[in-house]
């Protein structure tokens, strides 16, 4: 159980379930699959009939793996890890993806709603204080479908929406009250880089709109007595070589247009993955100075909640 003071905190989806609203949301979400408009790609595939679009996934979700995960942000890990479900494929398909085998090569298996529900319940039974869906954007209906079954099996922990930030506002609106924790990336500020690495020339505008909607739904991050996340927004930003991510501008956006209390994870673990070693702009690790500059950008923007990462720095100390 999660507590705020002496109060037991139930995840917000319980109210929607008790009111019958979850089933209504499911029907609306499934309707988006007929000519798919779930994500900003709007590929129009009839996924209900098994067609696949940009994401390569049809009617059934695919899962690469699920397990307790201790490498996530401090408020998600708690004592027993974050209950992480790695969903196969992706709607963004970055050429530099660190999970290239999952996102591009579609490593994983199709799962029935009952199977995904069992994964969720199993992770909660292990002590995980949240269920963390990694790259959920393209399988929102399937997650809602499994959630209903998981609730009936006793699930009572918050859900985490862990996305690349390339999310459709209308789809996020269907998730209002279902996910208590949103954790998007804000990958690139300049669209020329998003176009180059993700074929997403509208990434900046889409990510801004999506993060504003997420914050509107859940607000700043709130934690329980033990520092475990109950509800709110966490934003990830991967520091890139040569500042191709536009860290300064991303931090200023979060501070000015979201909240100075936004919980931010500036990530230093970039390494050339996927096809990144073929691109001269990003075929190296970041330097110590590049990471220090990124942290200074966040502080200068007035952001005060930076994720503490108690781990050795694996970047070059230059």
Q: What is the tens place of the pLDDT at every residue in 108-124? A: 999 999 999 999 999 99
* Residue 134 parent element (H or E): strand 131-134
Tokens representing 36?
């798919």
Write the DSSP symbol of residue 235: E
Q: What is the largest CA-CA distance in the chain?
A: 57
Q: What is the tens place of the pLDDT at every residue in 188-229? A: 999 999 999 999 999 999 999 999 999 999 999 999 988 999
186-196: burial string, b at 16+ Cβ within 10 Å, e else: bbbbebebbeb
Contact present, 264 and 235 (Cβ < 8 Å):
yes
Q: At what angle do helices 191-198 and 203-218 cross, to 10 degrees?
A: 100
| Complete domains list, the chain, with CATH | 2-306 (3.20.20.70)
Q: Tell me how far apart the alpha carbons of residues 312 and 92 are, in angstroms, rounded to a whole number.
A: 30
Q: What is the tens place of the pLDDT at every residue in 5-55? A: 555 679 999 999 999 999 999 999 999 999 999 999 999 999 999 999 899
Query: What pTM was computed for the model?
Result: 0.94
């Amino acid at each position: 159980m999660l507590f705020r003071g002496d109060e037991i905190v139930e995840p917000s989806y319980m109210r929607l379930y008790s009111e019958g609203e979850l089933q209504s949301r499911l029907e609306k979400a499934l309707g988006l699959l007929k000519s798919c408009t779930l994500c900003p790609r709007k590929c129009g595939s009839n996924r209900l009939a098994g067609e696949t679009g940009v994401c390569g996934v049809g009617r059934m979700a695919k899962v690469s793996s699920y397990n307790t995960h201790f490498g996530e942000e401090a408020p998600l890990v708690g004592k027993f890890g974050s209950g992480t479900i790695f969903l196969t494929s992706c709607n963004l398909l970055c050429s530099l993806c660190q999970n290239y085998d999952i996102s591009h090569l579609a490593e994983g298996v199709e799962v029935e709603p009952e199977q995904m529900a069992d994964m969720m319940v199993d992770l909660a039974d292990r002590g995980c204080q949240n269920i963390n869906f990694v790259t959920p954007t393209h399988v929102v209906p399937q997650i809602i479908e499994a959630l209903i079954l998981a609730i009936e099996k006793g699930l009572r922990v918050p859900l985490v929406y862990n996305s690349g930030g390339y999310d459709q506002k209308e789809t996020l609106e269907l998730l209002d009250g279902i996910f208590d924790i949103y954790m998007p990336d804000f990958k690139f500020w300049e669209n020329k880089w998003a176009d180059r690495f993700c074929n997403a020339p509208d990434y900046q505008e889409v990510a801004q709109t999506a993060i504003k909607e997420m914050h509107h739904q859940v607000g700043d991050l709130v934690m329980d007595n033990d520092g475990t996340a109950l509800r709110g927004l966490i934003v990830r930003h991967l520091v890139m070589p040569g500042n191709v991510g536009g860290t300064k501008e991303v931090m200023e956006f979060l501070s000015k247009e979201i909240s100075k209390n936004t919980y931010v994870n500036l990530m230093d673990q970039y390494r050339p993955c996927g096809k990144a070693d073929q691109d001269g702009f990003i075929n190296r690790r970041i330097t110590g100075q590049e990471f220090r500059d990124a942290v200074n950008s966040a502080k200068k923007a007035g952001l005060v909640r930076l994720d503490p990462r108690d781990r050795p720095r694996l970047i070059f100390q230059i």
